[in-house]
């Protein structure tokens, strides 16, 4: 059976045009925010359709994730009413993603860092799931909303309303977003936490080269680490941390392992018959869905290897896989340009 492009599997309420599965939690801080929640819930009821609660679309009672909690900022963790309304578990339901074969290969990396940035003009969301390749599960989460560096407050408010308003998480964004340089500092601290698993593991070395230890980033496409993080570092006035200089593009792994095209996350999930969950283009949800694809690849026997690497922070990345995801290339010529399915060998144009 074909899977719809987005299926909100554990939701009780949905709309054909917009859906608010992550309506903001009651603010731990102010009354005005509670008012916003009431308004937001009222508008949701007016504009949405109640779906019948069949076993298929209501496996368990779904609760929106507390996005204050994912960022370590929930102050209502002992409030029974808050706990009744919002989930505080970052565990990813991976049950439907495990293949029957369980033919897991020996992996080069003990941990994979699933990253899916959001934000076109500047980064707005930085979610990372820590995936343990032996336990085959997500064991930790780092999630921050990011405040733009070079945008006026008015422009930022418009940008956030357009991007996150439809998910109902614009208020939590405003309450929690911090600048990119602070996100990177906190992320590096998080990587340096001591972790148990075959001995004490620290994911970021202290030996000066600042590379990842026994871990690698997994992204859906090359954009996140090839383009966006270097761009944001420039805008934020920091140098590119070496830990971002290599990554695994899950589309390249998918294409080479299954020998099937992998134009995007939703199409890969459709191909693997894994139902997507949450809101597409909410970074924390997209990261969870990428983790589901990752688990299927691992349990089917794929080896996760680095697919792109830079020699230095300023050099262009080298792509290491011969078979790479196809896209239409815009080839500049003297008289204009033309598009091609074939990457022009020897050209300076890169993805
Ligand atoms: Zn909470």
| Backbone torsions φ then ψ of 182, nearest 5 degrees | -70, -35
CA 62 to ligand 1 center in whole angstroms: 15
Ligand 1 center to residue 114 CA distance, Å?
23
| Helix, strand, or coil (residue 34) | helix
Q: How many angstroms is it from 87 CA to the middle of ligand 1?
A: 7
pTM given for the model:
0.77
Cα–ligand 1 centroid distance for 79 (angstroms): 9
Which pLDDT belongs to residue 323? 84
Residue 329 lies in a domain: yes
Query: Is 30 inside a domain boundary?
Result: no
Is 176:73 a contact under the CB 8 Å cutoff?
Answer: yes
6 belongs to a structural domain:
no
Between the CA of 88 and the centroid of ligand 1 the distance, in Å, is 6
**Alpha-carbon torsion angle 168, 170, 172, 177, nearest 10:** 150
The answer to whether residue 38 sits within a structural domain is: no
Q: Where are the alpha helices (DSSP H) in 192-282?
A: 229-236, 250-258, 265-272
Does 302 reside within a domain? yes
* Per-residue tokens: 247: 């990554």
Q: What pLDDT score was predicted for residue 345? A: 43
Catalytic option among 88, 179, 280, 281: 281
Q: Is residue 131 part of a domain?
A: yes
Query: Residue 93 is part of which domain span?
Result: 89-340
Q: What is the pLDDT of residue 116?
A: 98
DSSP state letters, 291-311: HHHHHHHHHHT------EE-S
pLDDT of residue 60: 58
DSSP 3-state assignment of 195? strand
How far is Cα of residue 137 from the mean position of the Cα atoms in its chain? 16
Q: Is 158 considered catalytic here?
A: no
* Cβ-based burial of 266 (10 A; exposed 0-12, middle 13-18, buried ≥19): middle
Q: Is 69 a catalytic residue?
A: no
Q: What DSSP element (H or E) covers 153?
A: helix 153-164
Structure tokens at 124: 């707005």
pLDDT tens for each residue of the chain, 351 residues long: 333 333 333 222 233 333 333 334 444 333 222 222 222 322 332 222 223 333 344 445 667 789 999 999 999 999 999 999 988 887 766 766 666 666 888 999 999 999 999 999 999 999 999 999 999 999 999 999 999 999 999 999 999 999 999 999 999 999 999 999 999 999 999 999 887 765 677 899 766 678 899 999 999 999 999 999 999 999 999 999 999 999 999 999 999 999 988 889 999 999 999 998 888 999 999 999 999 999 999 999 999 999 999 999 899 999 999 888 755 445 566 676 655 544 444 444 333
CATH code of 242's domain: 3.30.420.10
Asked if 28 contacts 68 with a C-beta cutoff of 8 angstroms, the reply is: yes
CB 109 within 8 A of CB 216: yes
The H or E element that residue 186 is part of is helix 180-191
Around Cβ 24, how many Cβ atoms within 10 Å? 26
d(CA 129, CA 108): 18
How many distinct helices (H) and strands (E) make up the chain? 9, 14
Whose structure tokens read 């050209």? 347
Report pLDDT for 307.
Answer: 96
φ, ψ of residue 60 to 5 degrees: the values are: -135, 165
Choosing from 69, 118, 122, 125, which is the catalytic residue? Answer: 118
Query: Token pair of 142, please?
Result: 């780092």
Query: How far, in Å, are 15, 19, 36, 172, 240 from residue 43 at the CA level?
Result: 12, 11, 11, 18, 43
Residue 52 lies in a domain: no
Length, in residues, of the chain: 351
30 CA to centre of own chain: 29
State in Å: Cα 233 to ligand 1 middle.
31
Q: Tell me what pLDDT residue 332 has.
A: 61
CA distance 97 to 276: 10
Whether 46 is in a domain gets the answer: no
Domain count, the chain: 1
Q: Give which of 287, 300, 295 is closest to 94, Cα–Cα.
A: 295
Q: How far is the CA of 25 from the centre of ligand 1 (A)?
A: 7
Displacement of CA 56 from its chain's centroid (Å): 25
């Amino acid at each position: 059976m074909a899977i719809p492009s987005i299926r909100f599997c554990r939701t009780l309420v949905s709309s054909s045009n917009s859906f608010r599965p992550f309506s903001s939690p009651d603010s731990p801080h102010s009354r005005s925010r509670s008012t916003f929640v009431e308004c937001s819930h009222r508008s949701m009821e007016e504009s949405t359709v109640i779906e019948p609660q069949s076993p298929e679309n209501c496996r368990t009672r779904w609760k929106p994730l507390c996005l204050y909690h994912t960022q370590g900022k929930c102050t209502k963790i002992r409030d029974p009413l808050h706990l009744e309304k919002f989930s505080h578990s970052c565990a990813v339901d991976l049950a439907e993603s495990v293949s029957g074969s369980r033919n897991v290969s020996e992996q080069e990396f003990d941990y994979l860092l699933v990253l899916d940035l959001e934000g076109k003009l500047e980064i707005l969301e930085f979610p990372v799931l820590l995936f343990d390749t032996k336990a085959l599960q997500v064991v930790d989460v780092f999630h921050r909303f990011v405040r733009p560096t070079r945008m006026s407050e008015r422009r930022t408010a418009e940008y956030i309303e357009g991007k996150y308003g439809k998910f109902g998480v614009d208020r939590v964004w405003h309450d929690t977003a911090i600048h990119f340089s602070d996100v990177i500092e906190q992320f590096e601290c998080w990587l340096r936490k001591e972790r148990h698993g075959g001995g004490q593991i620290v994911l970021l070395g202290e030996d000066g080269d600042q590379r990842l230890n026994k871990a690698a980033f997994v992204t859906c496409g090359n954009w996140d680490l090839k383009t966006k993080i270097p761009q944001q570092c420039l805008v934020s006035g920091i140098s590119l941390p070496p830990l971002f200089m290599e990554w695994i593009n899950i589309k390249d792994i998918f294409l080479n392992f299954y020998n099937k095209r992998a134009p995007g996350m939703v199409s890969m999930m459709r191909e693997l018959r894994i139902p997507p969950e949450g809101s597409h283009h909410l970074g924390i949800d997209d990261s969870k869905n990428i983790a589901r694809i990752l688990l299927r690849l691992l349990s089917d026997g794929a080896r996760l290897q680095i697919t792109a690497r830079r020699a230095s922070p300023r050099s262009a990345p080298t792509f290491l896989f011969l078979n790479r995801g196809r896209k239409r290339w815009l080839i500049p010529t003297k008289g204009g340009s033309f598009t091609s399915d074939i990457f022009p060998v020897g050209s300076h144009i890169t993805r």
